[in-house]
Amino acid sequence: MTARVLIPLLVVACLIGSAARATGYATQRQILDAIAFEQHIGERLPGELRFIDADGDRVRLGELTDRPLVLILAWYNCPNLCSMVLDQVAIATSGLPFASGDYRVVVVSIAPAEGPADARRMRERLRRLHGVTINNWHLLSGEKRAIDTLASAIGFRYVYDAERKRYAHPAGMVVVSPGGRISRYLFGLRPASSDLRLALLDAGQGKLGSPVDQILLRCYRFNPETGRYSLAVINVLRVAGGGTVLALAGLVLLLRRRERR
């Protein structure tokens, strides 16, 4: 009698467990399918949006677009991904040849429940690890409507996983030109300092750099699929070929002068 009762109960329990795992897998699959980072290059940020900075002051997004900026959507209380991304961005910006006042880094929390206190904690952590590198960083928080409007404008698709009480979101950043126009997207957890440098030069139309930077920018081509800059071999060959022609012309002139003498 006991066996006849226990065995069906065990079978039902196994079926319930399997169904729960299948449901959990389906839910996770839906979440992963919903995450994306669509590129809206050329479009403008909604400058009228208002957020609150780490000091509790209200900031209009358009006030921060007076110079090239790196825009990152993150979650200050994220246990894994976001802190790593912000650390890597700080490392990448520490290798830039620009003055901190030449550009901005703007971080906006995707969690409406977060506020200035969370932004301050993140700022203190970053300052402790990276020092003056983050002096030109603005850590913001805001209401859900403003966050969703900004996320939609830059193509940042994220989902709140209620079961795990976490935000699922893509990794990357947006480089914005003065005036608020989206210039470039850099994807991944570890942005290369060289890619960030070229993206800021591109966003500022070269105004940040020297004539050497202008040549460097022409020698690289941006690949929107990978979010990276690759060396444009043809451009390099053109530059090298032009240099060879000038060298030969100089040699011919020199030989002619010697011949006349």
pLDDT at 27: 64
Contact 107, 121 (CB under 8 A): no
Average of per-residue pLDDT across 151-178: 92
Average of per-residue pLDDT across 63-80: 94
pLDDT at 158 over 90: yes
pLDDT at 33: 75
Q: What percent of the chain has pLDDT over 70?
A: 70
Q: Which of 143, 142, 167 is nearest to 156 (CA)?
A: 167
Phi-psi region of 155 (alpha: psi -120 to 50; beta: other; left: phi over 0): left
Average of per-residue pLDDT across 243-248: 59
pLDDT at 15 over 90: no
Yes or no: domain 36-207 corresponds to CATH 3.30.465.10: no
Q: For the chain, how long is the longest CA-to-CA vector?
A: 122
**DSSP letters along 30-78, please?**
HHHHH-EE---TTPBP-TT-EEEETTS-EEEGGGG-SS-EEEEEE-TT-
Helical residues (DSSP H) of the chain, grouped into ranges: 2-34, 81-94, 116-130, 144-154, 193-203, 211-219, 233-260
pLDDT at 8: 40
What size, in residues, is the chain? Answer: 261
- In tens, the pLDDT along 28-50 reads 677 777 788 999 999 999 999 99
Query: Whole-angstrom Cα distance, residue 81 to residue 171?
Result: 8
Sheet order of strands, 104-109 included: 58-60, 50-53, 137-141, 104-109, 69-74, 172-177, 181-187
The SS3 of residue 156 is strand
Contact 157, 170 (CB under 8 A): yes
pLDDT at 220: 59
pLDDT at 89 over 60: yes
Domain ranges of the chain: 36-207
